[in-house]
Structure 1
Amino acid sequence: MSLPAHPLQRRLAHALLRKAERSEGGRTVSLPLDAQTLPELHDAPSPQALAHLELLLDGLAKTGWVRLKADKARAFQTLADRRPALLLLDAAALAEWSGFEPATPRWSRQLVQALREHATLLAVPDAPALLDYLLRSPLPAFQGQEPAACAAVLNALAADCRAAPALTPYLREISARHFRGHSKVLDAREELLRLLGAGEASFLEAPIQLLVDLPEDWTGDEVLFIENGVSFERMAGQRQPPWAHTALLYAAGFRSGARRLRERKGSSIYWRGRMSAANIERFETWLYGGTAEPAVGFYGDLDFAGLAILAQLRMSFPTCSAWRPGYDALLSALGSGHAPGDAGKERQQDPVVTGCAFADEVLLPALRTTGRCMDQELWPGATTKAG
């Protein structure tokens, strides 16, 4: 794909990707378009110049790899007044489109150079392509290792990729086998595995485990994802009017947002208690078949990480919204909530935008204004009654 038509788009794409490189992962990366990042927006010499900048930003957002977020427009405000920011959605696609070259650490450059100089160490399908990949996408598990030891691991991985065992292994089992018990090294390393000879069915990804509680009279109209296990158990065990007829779902943390949740091979359902055959069929038809569209809600902690889960869920369930009964209760108590640093949340990143109007216009502004957080276990709790 060709580079962006305008240098400004390329500049912003690279700034966003550099920020992503510095982040530790697991959180949404956003780039505020403040006067330092985009002075052209804040010092536009004319309405025409401002309109041109907005067209460039809209064009960048229309790629689908970033999202342009801004506060709700008010009278006489320009885009610069509305706290605009870019939200990263697909780093790999944006990097390819913008010609971004990630920084390669020195140890990885030295490793690749050593393997190029001793080509006989590698016994893989395409050694030059593999080394180009390692230069673009270093494997941290190799840091501090001798080139011969790294080559031995890659050769053994290639052998496993070519093998056809009677029982297909899980990818994390393969990772643990070759990386000293570390099961997550090969996560999101599809290109590496392809270069080593793996096919689409060579390894299995661990299915998401989804715990489900259905009321006896569930009609298929309401589904609620719950972030924390304690809250799930409380609400499933003591149903109250706001969720009396709602299917309750629990999948730990950010895993709830995985796209594989809606694939039969990507998730495993575990039923809490006995469910009727009709309800089971109705639920699985919705989850895997997409033939029905119930109201889907999410209820989790009132903090940036919780609302980031909501944003991820919306990738699989586009109509998912913050569940008003639970979040209204937490919001009313937010002023007396805990500071992020009191609960190890100081490094949580503002998701900037979730796509849910209630979250974007009410909950996120409240978190930014108060600087407080509230865990969902507060409500309904053991004694609180739903109103």
Structure 2
Amino acid sequence: MTTPIWLKDEPWLAKWLGWFLDKLDNRDGEPSQRAITRRIKKSTLPALYDFNEDTQGRWQLLQHIAREHRIFEIVLDNKRSAFQEPYENAQCRLNPDCEALLREWLNRPQQDPLAQAWQQAINEHAATFTDNGEALLNQKPQIPGLTPAEIVSAFASVEPYLNQNLTLREIAARCFNGDSKTLDNRFELLLKLYRDNANGIQPRPLLLTAWAPPGFTKLLIVENQDSFLRLVENPPEDYALLYSGGFRASATRLSSEHTRFAFLPGSDPKRFKQRWLDKRTQCYFWGDLDFAGMGILKALRNSLPNLQAWQPGYQPMLEILNTGGGHTPQQTGKTAQTDPGTTGCPYTDTILLPALRQHGKSVDQEAIHIQ
């Protein structure tokens, strides 16, 4: 159905009908049992009180809409005096079943209340953002417990902290109710909101624990803490040891100036810093024999392209798999792990990964003790 011709010719009527849609839109998506009504008075519908016009024709048109299209019901006021117009103080009660028809007549599609809330919140803070808040409107980041208005306000409050030599987590804690992790993985969003100003955020240092005996020539990165400390107690000859703490050491900032090391007693920090990123240093990784561990190895090779799986650690774990040992992903909550495909390490790609795929089981590195 298209908009009736007579509605296009009667702007006063479109305004009157639009008022009912305004009321519907202002309900913020919440259903209401209360009917939407409006009484006809000179203040609400002055077109029926402009007696230089055809007010009777206009009144008949209102009645026609109520009778033929059932947009609303008209209830006359029985208490009006005899000299008053019949429509004086009459009540128009909107028929909710006709909302779609009314929206089509007025070309006003139903608005998403949530989208409206985001737009309103961004409009209030648009001047704060370099992109006027467009990135927030496109992404609409969800933060549990916060409304769109609170989320936008929090992102707007970031601006004063951008050039105070603070890290992302320090800024997040100040702007998001003390939650330091809210802005994790949202730096790209801040770049869109604040452009070059976001580059004032200080990179968070990567803190790694190392044991580097004097004269070492090789480096072994160990995934888990217990295995790392056992190796420190009984170290393999000629190795420095680095505790990676899962994926922490696979971050792109691993080889950056922001990496920090905590050295255990007996270490030679100077030699370690000279040799650990030297391409001539033989580098190895030892972690859990599962897809996640192989994924860490693959990620670490982005910073250490010569990195290889440490066979003295993986070989006894492989033997456990090949003799029927190990645990299934369901037993240890590893069902979300994904096969990394290839890592670039020949031993991993031709021996370890095929074994994992064949047996469908894993072995954590704490299961063995290197003598």
Q: TM-score, normalised by structure 1?
A: 0.61
- Pairing of 1:1-387 with structure 2 (within 5 A): 111-117=114-120, 120-126=123-129, 130-131=133-134, 133-141=135-143, 145-161=146-162, 164-165=163-164, 168-197=165-194, 199=197, 201-218=199-216, 220=217, 222-239=218-235, 243-265=236-258, 267-276=259-268, 280-287=269-276, 290-334=277-321, 335-380=324-369, 385=371
Instruction: Note the C-alpha offset of 1:125.
Output: 4.1
Indicate conservation of the 8 Å contact 1:228/1:300, yes or no: yes
Residue 360 to residue 129, structure 1, CA distance change in 2 (3 Å)? farther
- Distance between the aligned counterparts of 2:122 and 2:279, measured in 1? 56
Aligned partner letter, 1:160 = Y
Indicate conservation of the 8 Å contact 1:330/1:379, yes or no: yes
Indicate conservation of the 8 Å contact 1:157/1:196, yes or no: no
Aligned partner letter, 1:205 = P
Q: CA RMSD in A?
A: 2.3
- Paired position in structure 2 for 1:20: none
Task: In structure 1, list runs of 5 or more residues that go unmatched.
Answer: 1-108
- Distance between the aligned counterparts of 1:339 and 1:117, measured in 2? 50
Indicate conservation of the 8 Å contact 2:122/2:137, yes or no: no
- Distance between the aligned counterparts of 1:307 and 1:156, measured in 2? 41
Instruction: Note the C-alpha offset of 1:330.
Output: 0.4
- Distance between the aligned counterparts of 1:211 and 1:364, measured in 2? 28
Indicate conservation of the 8 Å contact 1:297/1:322, yes or no: yes
Q: Classify the secondary structure of the residue corresponding to 1:268.
A: strand
Indicate conservation of the 8 Å contact 1:122/1:154, yes or no: no
Instruction: Note the C-alpha offset of 1:214.
Output: 1.6
- Distance between the aligned counterparts of 1:111 and 1:158, measured in 2? 25
Aligned partner letter, 2:159 = A
Residue 137 to residue 123, structure 1, CA distance change in 2 (3 Å)? closer
Aligned length: 257
What's the CA shift string for 1:11-42, capped at 9, x where partnerless? xxxxxxxxxxxxxxxxxxxxxxxxxxxxxxxx
Indicate conservation of the 8 Å contact 2:131/2:192, yes or no: no
Instruction: Note the C-alpha offset of 1:223.
Output: 0.8
Residue 358 to residue 154, structure 1, CA distance change in 2 (3 Å)? same
What's the CA shift string for 1:39-65, capped at 9, x where partnerless? xxxxxxxxxxxxxxxxxxxxxxxxxxx
State the structure with more CA Rg: 2
Q: TM-score, normalised by structure 2?
A: 0.63
Q: Classify the secondary structure of the residue corresponding to 2:214.
A: coil
Residue 292 to residue 352, structure 1, CA distance change in 2 (3 Å)? closer
Indicate conservation of the 8 Å contact 2:168/2:202, yes or no: yes
Q: Which moved more, 1:168-177 or 1:246-255?
A: 168-177
Indicate conservation of the 8 Å contact 2:279/2:306, yes or no: no
Q: Which moved more, 1:339-348 or 1:177-186?
A: 177-186
Large movers: runs of 4+ above 6 Å: none
Indicate conservation of the 8 Å contact 1:112/1:134, yes or no: no
Q: Classify the secondary structure of the residue corresponding to 1:333.
A: helix
Residue 178 to residue 200, structure 1, CA distance change in 2 (3 Å)? closer
- Distance between the aligned counterparts of 1:124 and 1:356, measured in 2? 51
Instruction: Note the C-alpha offset of 1:139.
Output: 1.4
Identity %: 35
Aligned partner letter, 2:141 = L
- Distance between the aligned counterparts of 2:368 and 2:121, measured in 1? 62
Aligned partner letter, 1:211 = T
Instruction: Note the C-alpha offset of 1:230.
Output: 0.3
Instruction: Note the C-alpha offset of 1:129.
Output: 5.2
Instruction: Note the C-alpha offset of 1:146.
Output: 3.1
Task: In structure 2, list runs of 5 or more residues that go unmatched.
Answer: 1-111
